[in-house]
Amino acid sequence: MGFGSAPFLSSSIMGRPIYFMTAKVTTIKNKRPQSRNVWIVSDYDNPIDIMKKDGKTMSRLERELFTAKAKNKTIVIDSITSIKQVGTTSHPNET
């Protein structure tokens, strides 16, 4: 076994994978779309799932990409450009 491996842990005990990703997002400011690359850490690896289910990531992107006075805060994750699994959640019963 290599350094840091835990032979007694099985995949049924471990939770969902956690991913570090870079993604292309589009924000709409003053009715003009603007695209940029951002980093995302989430246990979802699909842009639609991140936008619908990961409120913590979406609120962080909102704080990062918009000013406090912005009225219409629209963020669309267009695509995932890179993805790397960095760990697992500590909740084994999540699906």
| Phi, psi (degrees; rounded to nearest 5) at 82 | -150, 155
pLDDT (tens digit, 9 = 90+) per residue, 29-58? Answer: 878 899 999 999 999 999 999 999 999 999
> Predicted confidence band at 5 (pLDDT cuts at 50, 70, 90)?
very low
The pLDDT assigned to 13 comes to 65
> Predicted confidence band at 12 (pLDDT cuts at 50, 70, 90)?
low
Encoding tokens for residue 40? 């995302």
CB contact set of 2 (below 8 Å; sequence gap of 6+): none
- DSSP 8-state class, residue 22: E
